[in-house]
Structure formats: structure tokens, C-alpha cells
Copies of this chain bind each other. A is one copy, B any other.
Amino acid sequence: MEAWKLYSRTLHTGEKVLIATNGFWADRAIAMAENYGLEVVRLPGPSNETFKFEDLEKEIIKHKPVLLFISHGETSTGVLQPLEGLSKICHRHGCLLAVDAIITFAAVPLFVDRWEIDAIVGAPQKGLAAPPGLTFLSFSERAVERMDKKKVNPPFYLHAKKVANCWRCLNDGPAGFHYTWNSNMLCAIREAFLQLLEKGLANTWENQTKMAERLWIGLEKMGLKLWVPNKEKRLPNVTTVILPEGIDVKKVCRYAYDVLHTDISFGIGPTYGKCLRIGIMGYNCRPEIVDRALEVITEVLDKYPIYSKQYTSVGVNSWGR
């Protein structure tokens, strides 16, 4: 979500960016880009499919953007976008590649340096299962070069080079004091990384895939259809499942939460009103949690005709609208 940082640090007002748009987070990126006065070219994609590299290249050639923004995982639709090789296409045409990896960080194979991603943002509260409140950022040499050329300063607080210097990422004089860090968050994240190291990253990815398949098979056995038909293109940690027509998705979520004490999300953006979004990741990425989720969904759908009459969906946040 904090992909805005990518803009504020690498781009000038008025410059052109290409945003691959297939869900809520890409729309956010557009809102951010427009907030910064960038010229936005949106490339709409289907909401249950990935973007094809050849289509992206065509748009890059046509519009000559300085940056392509794309979501690695789009949680509003459950689509996982392949990224390997995309930067080569971008760089061939003098374009930077910026990626939102909030949901995929520590859950899905992601090689920032090997795939030559120029700007990427991750978060602690998804695959890493740490509390929310900080952001992971990485910039390529190419992106840093661009920042160095930037004439307008980024906001003081968000000044990537000043922050990088404090973290001794740069050999640029003494670390100095930029601002008071959120020390509790740093401890929490350190612990989360230790747990990840103990488990191993490859094991974590493998387990995530297994749990996703366990969930998908379970849902399909219940006669439900998944939003993303091709399983290779599904995000393994957020699953979008279509509910039978006539069911008020918010009531389902509310009942699951209030009565069964299980937090399942409703669809946002393209899946709004149509899907449940089931997030299984981090500490919860275990067979018993997957099975419990399946039980809850079974019960929630079975009982729907009964509770839906007396239940209003008021109080469930409506930010997907």
C-alpha cells in the first residue's frame, strides 16, 4: 500500500507513469500518483488473470513512461503476477520497474536483485506475521541514480537517502539521527525474521503452496468456484472464492466474526459483493487453520438462510466500495 513512497522518491511532477491496473491496490497507486501530480497512463487488465509481458511492452513502447508500477500480489482479486524477466523489458526502454510486494513478501518466491526490480515495497503484517506499522523498501542502483538527479526534495521524514544513511546502508558520513524509531516494532520484526530464518525461506514458500492447495481443494469440494480459474495464477496466501448468487457477503463475514470468531474478509474492488477473501499466511499457515476455515465457510453458508433474516451487515467497514 505504501507504494506511494516509490513515486515520491523517484519521480518528478508531470512525469509519465504506467500503472497496470487490475484491482484495488493498483487503483490506490493511481490515486497516489495523481496526488503527486504525475501523468498516469492506466493499463487495465482482467481481474482474474495476470498481465502478459508482451502487452506491457507494447504499452511501454507506446507511452514511454519513466516507470511501470505493478502489484506482485493483488489481494483484492487473489492474482499473483509473474515478475521474472519484466525488468529486462522495462530497462530496454529506459523505464523503471516498481512493485508492490506487500502481500507476497516472505510468502512467495521473490528475488529483488536477481529480477532487477528498481523499487519494491513490502510489509511486516502479511507473510512475516509481525505487527503492522513499518515498511520494507529496496531500491536498485538505477532508482538511486534517479533519486540523485531529482531536483525537488522528498518530505524530510520520507527522505530515503537520509533514512538509508541512518541504517548505514550508505557509506556517507556518520549515521546521525533522523527521527525516533518505533523501537517496539523493530524488536517485533527482528523476532519475526529470526523465526523465518529458523523455518527457512524455501520451506515457508513450500508450506504456503501446500496450504493453499489444501484450501482450494476443500472449497471446490464444497461446490464453490474460485475467482481466479488458473491455479498457477493464484496468490497462495489470499484466496478469492465466489459465493452463490443472492448471498450478502458482508453478512457472511459478520456472522463468521461475531458468532464463529473467525475473521474472513469480503471482496474489495473487482470482487466486491461477489467473493470471500480468505487470508492464510504466517503463523496461521497450518493445516488445522485451513481446515477450520473450511468448517467455518461450510457452516456460514449452511446457516445463511436463517441468520441472514435477522442480521444486518452494518458495522462492517465499507472501504471496498
Contact = CB atoms under 8 A, between A and B. Distances in A.
Interface of A: 1-2, 4-5, 8, 31-32, 35-37, 123, 125, 131-134, 152-153, 155-159, 174-177, 179-185, 188, 317-319, 321
A132 B35 contact: no
Most buried by B among A31, A36, A177, A181: A177
B177 A319 contact: yes
B123 A157 contact: no
Contacts of A37: 152-153
Contacts of A35: 153, 155-156, 159
The number of times this chain is found in the oligomer is: 2
A180 B319 contact: no
Contact of A184 (B123, B131, B153, B180): B131
Contact of A123 (B4, B152, B180): B180
A319 B132 contact: no
B179 A182 contact: no
A321 B36 CA distance: 35
A133 B2 contact: no
13 contacts: A1-B179, A1-B180, A2-B179, A4-B157, A32-B156, A35-B159, A125-B180, A132-B182, A133-B184, A155-B155, A174-B321, A184-B184, A184-B185
Nearest to A185: B133
A159 B131 CA distance: 23
Given A2-B179, A184-B188, A319-B177, A8 B133 contact: no
A67 to B, nearest CB: 16
A158 B152 CA distance: 17
Given A153-B36, A156-B31, A177-B317, A182 B133 contact: yes
Given A153-B37, A156-B32, A182 B180 contact: no
A182 to B, nearest CB: 3
Contacts of A31: 156
Contacts of A177: 317, 319
Interface centre among A125, A152, A155, A159 (most CB of B within 10 A): A155
A183 B131 contact: yes
A131 B184 CA distance: 7
A5 B179 CA distance: 13
B181 A133 contact: yes
Contacts of A8: 155
Central interface residue in A132, A174, A183, A188, by most chain B CB within 10 Å: A132
A171 B37 CA distance: 27
Q: Which of A32, A157, A177, A319 has the most CB of B within 10 A?
A: A157
Contacts of A134: 182
A238 to B, nearest CB: 14
A133 B188 CA distance: 13
